Structure 1
Amino acid sequence: MGSLRINKVKYNGDKYYFESPVFTENVILIEGDNGTGKTTFCNLIYYGLGGRVKEFLKEEARTHKEIVNDTNNYVDLYISINTENYHLRRFIGDNDITVSPFTISDVEPPTPNEIETNLVNLDGVELLPVNRSFGNRIFSDWVLEKLNISVIELYQGYSTFKVNFTELFRLIYHDQQPNPELIYKQIDTKSNYISDSELLRKAIFEQLIGKSSSEYYDAIVEAKKAEKEKLLAKHFLDEFEPIIAHLRGAEKVINKPFLMTELEQKEMQLEKLHYSREAFKNNRTANTTIDIALDDSKSIIISDEIGLSESKEKLLSLFDEKSKLFFLKENTAKEITQVIKVIHAHDQLNLFSADTCPYCLTKVERVSGHCVCGAEIDEQQYERFFYTSQEYKEILKSKTKTVSTIELAIKGCEEDITSVNSDIEQLTNNIQNAKKKLRSILDSIDQPIDIETLNNIDDKILSIREQISLLNQKIELENKYEKLSSEYEVKRKAHQSAELIMQGLEVKAKQEIVTKVNDFSDVYNLLMTETLEDCRSARISLDTYLPVINDGEYKEASSGVSIRLMYYLTLLTLSLEDENVPFPHFLLIDTPETAGIELSNLKNCLDKFSNLQSISNDYQVIITTGLSKYPESLANNRVIYLPNKANALLKTKSQSQPL
């Protein structure tokens, strides 16, 4: 299954910055005193992966002052998913994440000589929103697709909820929380009553622990969709039946084959009446009625010919306008591609700035109010020749909106073309019918006629035509009814099939989850009995998937650290032992020494992470902990040391960057 790894973390703003070393070990240890930025480090990773961090939001009561008050600030994550490498950039306070593949093996910025061979393929750059709206593709969909984890949708009553990556991260990110007995990380925000329900928490566990569970939830989505389509088709069918009954009136029900037979008979009668009418046509003397008919027919032909000419001119104009719009759209799309490349090149290389020599590209210590060459300049006017990535993004969004506007114009133009084509077709038919009528009138001139007989035939023709028209309406209604009935039958069978598939996968998922719960409990029991001295047995409930210690015996609050931490470690251990477990081989653990756990117990818990190497090398655990609050087995895994607030995580631009 999928594997996630953080290779490097960067933060940059106008006032503060941070850059981690390249993470090469499987277990990464960040040691620091209280208030030095350990939680900030974890929050940067979580935010860069699409999470919502309250401390980074200006509207919250408690904020991270350095980050909230910084400007043009963003988080960079260099990550690996399976064998592919990606650079993620998210600006603070922004809803978008820029995703771009990279090939630099040590995730360091490339030198000018490396650009040609090692720089990212710009065609792979994507700008993905974090939050979902109107069913759009978001960053969560992208990362779950890369991890081979299905995007499942939960149904509770009439409400639906898509399980995003941040929901699954509640069992991947071991954050600090006041109550250590709560296994799951707290939700980012409560959007509805499903967002922190037992249904969702169980779905998160099942999706991370078993492949069949994901298939089962996918089957539920398909069955619900099929049910909706079936109910909609049935609704249309039920709504149409009263319409047929109303038009039928007191007449008995006649199906389509009998209606077609009756229609053929009426058409044969009409044809015979037309033949009889032609037999009674004779020459006539000058007739005022015929003269009026001639004038009317000629007027209709002339009027329609003029309208036809105007419509054809309008059609040519619309085609010309559509061609210009396509040309404009193509040019704008090329501009968007260029802007994306500029954004990426600017983000990756940052070759030019207000303090960079334009010839040798080296940094120059420029005196404020003076150019690189030494001439006096207006500082604000001088800076406007250099843009930030955020400003480039605004240009990109503007161009993208322009493309949407052009597409709407093209759509409107196509609708106008369809309308004009319809007008041309109608006018052409009108002209042909008028000419046919004119020829008929001319043929009858100077022929004597039996008016009374002709009138009787015309009355019968009119009656038969009315009957034919009514039969055509009934046939059309029957066609519509047959179509709706056929669509309903197709949807009914599709729903029935989806239900059977779902029921089969439900049985398979339940069988698998029982096995997985037993496997989980075996590993969990071993870890708990080795890390908590008064623990005799540990397992998880098959109903809630939550820990049961000593068959439900009360434990002191400090034991909650071991209970929760070993729960997360068990998930990772199972995924390393069983390739069918979708858990992404990654844990983020923030300062687990809460609730007064004894230091010896804490070290004993953390020491268990050093044993993962014997199972597999395909994993990563990032742990932040207090000063000297980790076992000797992890001493060589410390990559960042924050001994006091003077050496805090975030540095000002005037500081160096020791790690």
Structure 2
Amino acid sequence: MGRIKIEKLIYEGDQYYYESPEFKDGINIIEGENGSGKSTLSNLISFSLGNYVKEFDKRESKVHKEIVNDTNNFVLIKISISGEKYKIKRFFESNRIFIEDKENIQDFLIYRPQSDVKVFSDWLLEKLDIPVVEFFQGTSQSKLNFSDLFRLIYYDQRTVPEKIYKDSRNDGNFISDSEFMRKVIFQMLMGHEFSEYYYLIGELNKSKKEKSKLKAREEGFIELANEFGFGKLHEETLDEIKNSIDKKLLQLQRLEINEEELLRSDKKPPENIEKIRQLKKNLVDIELFIEDKLNKINRLFREIKNIKDIRENIILEVIHIKKIILTHEELNLFSPDTCPYCLSKVERKEGHCICGKEVEESEFEKFFYSTDEYLTILKSKQKSVETLDLAIQSCNDDLNMLEKELEDYQKKKVSTQKLINEGKEDIERNTNVIQIKDIQQQKFNIKENIISLEQYYKVKQNFEKIKKQLTIIDNTLSGINVDLKQRERNAKDEINMQVTKFSDIYNSLLVDIKHGINRARIDEDKYMPVINDGEYKEASVDVPIRLMYFLTLLKMSIEDIQIPFPRFLLIDTPESLGIDPENLEKSMSKFTTIMGEKETDNFQIILTSGIKKYPEEFSSFKRGRSLYKSEKLLLEKK
């Protein structure tokens, strides 16, 4: 898999500058006093790789003043990624990063504005052969970023050691710092099978999302079809609709031929007389229909008025019940043990009224209700109001439909009356205008039908296209699910094997650092350290526990280059976090053990340390000048 090697880092602004020494393969040590800028170097490397650095954010309360107050400042690194050399330049206060290789210069956004935009992290992960996968946690969706994986690559001082993972930018946020996300980071760095597994999960969720969109569009087309009267989208085929269009076109052609013949033919008054008779008969039918619609409309108006009256009465009852409940709560007036005149509490003998007369308790109680009973009555009444509102809406819908039908038939009435009058004129003038106009009306209706059918045909075409896409997605989902099950089995087998290997290496690195540590491993579920089966609690060992965790990741990636971990560690030595010098030196001495039996330099560690706060044999790994408070990392320009 891919590998990162930092070759050189340059910082420059209007006021300060810094140029690092050449970093080599293997171990590189930058030494300096506390407060001389060692952590600044680590943060500049992190920043140059597109990560968020809190100390460089002027909105924070604790910032690196020289960098935050500098102007026109940038950081540039010369880097090798999987053997390919690049220059990466990032300006402060900018969301853009520039990359130069042998052929061209590219630029990318750093922070992702939306999911479909390629950002610098995507480019970097691609160069490292790590897929950019999407994760779904409940309704939240996120993409894997290099900054996520960097939490197990950069050992910083700010993170509490027992947390192991470097703090995320939004530490404590459910998405970025969830247990799920921490497990994903470990799995992606330790197992190439998980890269494929999470990639397939991303593809599965994308396909599900696309299917959901298509289903919504399908439902939209069905709704649109119903609105325009095309209610048979699932029943009729495209060929059947095309045949209907062809039939209408044929009818239109015949009517046009008849119209031409009428324009050329002799006058036929008897036919006109018969036509007028038919039109008069149609007029009577239309008038009867109009009368029927008017009666139905009047009945609906009365029904709506009655429902509204009932609704108003129930609303008044609701208001009254609310007042009763309020009064009942505040004054406690309504009780079978209260005198109706003076409202005094009386001692009532069971089975008797307050006047002394014998009564049935069940009948007596029905005149008095508890607050809960009144609330039940209130809910029932309010539900009745909702039901009546639905009834009014239903009546209004029916009313609108009837009024539309009435309007259409009133237009037909006017049109028919006009045709009758024109027919009478035809008889008087011995012409056939009425027949021609009748044909023209038929032609107009058929043309309207053809337009409607053509629209229906287009809707059906789009509907069929969506159905086809849904079928393709269903097949894709089915295939992904099959692959996913196999990948999941492979990934689980691989990670179980990696956890065992990790625990063996981790144990060998950690047990002789501190007296009392007899066994060290990581648990199979959360991949977090377990020392002496969970019994060891001494706080001073927290730093070595975390440091050896990072070193184990690197050692495993050196032994197996198929592991995605990029064979690079950035370590800001934790000399001020409660670790004693002996444990720190023992921990650092373990760095030379990562190469195994045969020496290799196919990795890189950049480590900051106090002056001479490392094993003597590490002196050859020191790079560049020593840093002092009087001669810090960032040098002021003269």
Normalized against structure 2, the TM-score is what? 0.69
- Alignment of 1:478 onto 2:486: no
- 1:4 corresponds in structure 2 to 4
Cα drift, residue 92 of structure 1:
2.8
Counterpart contact for 1:26–1:621, Cα < 8 Å: yes
Tell me what 2:192 maps to. 211
Classify the secondary structure of the residue corresponding to 2:525: coil
Q: Quick one: distance in 2 between partners of 1:486 and 1:197?
A: 39
The equivalent of 1:13 in structure 2 is: 13
C-alpha separation in 2, matches of 1:592 and 1:516: 28
Compute the displacement of 1:29 (Å): 1.0
Aligned to 2:503: 521
- Alpha-carbon RMSD across the aligned residues, in angstroms, is 2.7
Could you tell me how far apart the structure 2 residues matched to 1:239 and 1:278 are? 44
Alignment of 1:150-299 (within 5 A): 150-177=131-158, 179-190=160-171, 192-248=173-229, 255-256=236-237, 257-282=239-264
Report what 1:316 is aligned to: none
Q: Which residue does 2:401 correspond to in 1? A: none
- Output aligned runs, 1:170-569, within 5 Å: 170-177=151-158, 179-190=160-171, 192-248=173-229, 255-256=236-237, 257-282=239-264, 450-569=432-551
Q: Is the Cα–Cα contact under 8 Å of residues 15 and 70 in structure 1 kept in the other structure?
A: yes
TM-superposed CA distance for 1:202, in Å, is 0.9
1: CA distance, partners of 2:611 / 2:108 = 39
**Gaps in structure 1 of 5+ consecutive residues:** 102-120, 285-447, 655-659
Aligned-partner residue type, residue 127 of structure 1: D
**Aligned AA (2:593):** N
1:474 is displaced (CA, Å) by 4.2
* 1:645 counterpart SS class: coil
Q: Using the TM superposition, give the Cα deviation of residue 7 of structure 1 relative to its aligned residue in structure 2, in angstroms.
A: 1.0
Residue pair 1:561, 1:594 contacting (<8 A) in 2 also: no
Q: 1:283 to 1:599 in 2, by over 3 A?
A: same
The answer to whether residue 124 in structure 2 is matched with residue 140 in structure 1 is no
The DSSP-based 3-state class of the residue aligned with 2:161 is coil
Query: Equivalent residue of 1:542, what SS?
Result: coil
Q: Distance in 1 between matches of 2:112 and 2:260?
A: 71
After TM superposition, give the deviation of residue 173 of structure 1 in Å: 0.4
Contact 2:25 2:603 in 1 (8 A): no
Measured in 2, the distance between the counterparts of 1:24 and 1:480 equals 61
CA separation in 1, counterparts of 2:34 and 2:151? 24
Match for residue 126 of structure 1?
106
Change (3 A) 1:549 1:259: same
After the TM superposition, list the runs of 4 or more consecutive aligned residues in structure 1 that deviate by more than 6 angstroms.
Answer: 249-253
* Aligned AA (2:177): D
Distance change (3 Å), C-alpha of 1:583 and 1:193: same
Task: Give 1:83's aligned residue.
Answer: 83
Cα shift at 1:527: 1.0
| Displacement after TM superposition at 1:248 (Å) | 3.9
Deviation, structure 1 residue 467: 4.3
The CA distance in 2 between the partners of 1:259 and 1:584, in whole Å, is 61
Aligned with residue 581 of structure 2, among 591, 599, 605: 599
Q: Specify the code of the residue in structure 1 equivalent to 2:535.
A: E
Deviations 1:259-305 (A, max 9, x none): 44444334333323322332333399xxxxxxxxxxxxxxxxxxxxx
- Partner of 2:132, secondary structure, is coil
Are the counterparts in 2 of residues 13 and 73 from structure 1 also a CA contact under 8 Å?
Answer: yes
Distance in 2 separating the partners of 1:649 and 1:480: 65
Is this contact kept in 1: 2:222–2:231, CA < 8 A?
Answer: no
Q: How far apart, CA to CA, are the structure 2 residues paired with 1:33 and 1:620?
A: 23
Separation in structure 1 between the aligned mates of residue 503 and residue 146 of structure 2, nearest angstrom? 25
Q: Distance in 2 between matches of 1:282 and 1:173?
A: 96
Match of 1:34 in 2: 34
Task: Give 1:252 deviation, angstroms.
Answer: 12
Shift of 1:471: 4.0
Counterpart-to-counterpart distance in 2, 1:636 and 1:62: 35
Q: CA deviation at 1:455?
A: 4.0
Contact 1:78/1:85 (8 A) holds in 2:
yes
CA contact (8 A) 1:17 1:653 kept: yes
Change (3 A) 1:140 1:519: same
| Contact 1:11–1:18 under 8 Å retained in 2 | yes
Distance 1:455 1:221, change over 3 A: same
Aligned residue for 2:511, secondary structure, equals helix
The answer to whether the 8 A contact 1:557-1:595 is kept is no
The separation in 1 between residues aligned to 2:13 and 2:21, in whole angstroms, is: 18
CA contact (8 A) 2:5 2:25 kept: no
Take 2:438 and 2:31, find their aligned partners in 1: how far apart are those partners?
Answer: 107
**Contact 1:216/1:502 (<8 A) preserved:** yes
1:17 and 1:138 map into 2 onto residues whose CA distance is: 28
1:479 Cα offset (Å): 3.3
Of residues 580, 605, 622 in structure 1, which corresponds to 2:606?
Answer: 622
In the alignment, is the contact (CA less than 8 A) between 1:9 and 1:19 conserved in 2?
yes
Residue pair 1:29, 1:639 contacting (<8 A) in 2 also: yes
1:650 alignment counterpart? 634
- Does the CA contact (< 8 Å) of 1:180 and 1:557 recur in 2? no
Give me the whole-angstrom Cα distance separating, in 2, the residues matched to 1:242 and 1:488.
18
Structure 1 counterpart of 2:619 = 635
- What corresponds to 1:369 in structure 2? none
Q: Give the Cα–Cα distance (whole angstroms) in 2 for the partners of residues 188 and 582 of structure 1.
A: 23
Deviation at 1:258, TM superposition (A): 4.0
Mapped to 2, the partners of 1:478 and 1:96 lie a distance apart of 47
CA distance in 2, matches of 1:487, 1:128: 33
Secondary structure, counterpart of 2:476 in structure 1: helix
Where 2:80 maps in the other structure, the secondary structure is strand
CA contact (8 A) 1:226 1:498 kept: no
The answer to whether the Cα contact below 8 Å between 2:37 and 2:627 also exists between their aligned partners in 1 is: no
CA 1:3–1:473: 2 relative to 1, 3 Å: closer
Q: Which has the larger radius of gyration?
A: 2
- How far has the Cα of 1:199 moved from its partner? 1.3
CA apart distance, 1:528: 1.3
- Partner residue, 1:312: none
Matched residues, number: 472
Q: Partner of 1:533: helix, strand, or coil?
A: coil
Amino acid at match of 1:278: E
Q: Deviations over 1:44-89 (max 9, x none)?
A: 1111111222222323212222222323322221111122111222
* Local SS of the residue matching 1:97: strand
Q: Is the 8 A contact 2:26 2:604 kept in 1?
A: yes
Instruction: Please say if residues 95 and 111 of structure 2, whose CA atoms lie closer than 8 Å, have aligned partners that are also in contact.
Output: yes
Q: Distance in 2 between the 1:194 and 1:250 partners?
A: 45
Instruction: Provide Cα deviations, 1:67-120, integer angstroms capped at 9, x if missing partner.
Output: 22323322221111122111222223332222212xxxxxxxxxxxxxxxxxxx
Q: CA, structure 1 residues 220+226, in 2 after alignment: closer, same or farther (shift >3 Å)? A: same
What are the Cα deviations for residues 307-346 of structure 1, in whole angstroms up to 9, with x where unaligned?
xxxxxxxxxxxxxxxxxxxxxxxxxxxxxxxxxxxxxxxx
Cα distance, 1:178 vs. partner? 5.7
Q: Tell me how far 1:250 sits from its aligned partner.
A: 9.6
Aligned sequence identity (%): 41
In the aligned structure 2, how far is the partner of 1:641 from the partner of 1:249? 81
Q: 1:21 to 1:475 in 2, by over 3 A?
A: closer
- Which whole-Å CA distance do the structure 2 matches of 1:58 and 1:253 have between them? 61
Scaled by the length of structure 1, what TM-score is found? 0.67
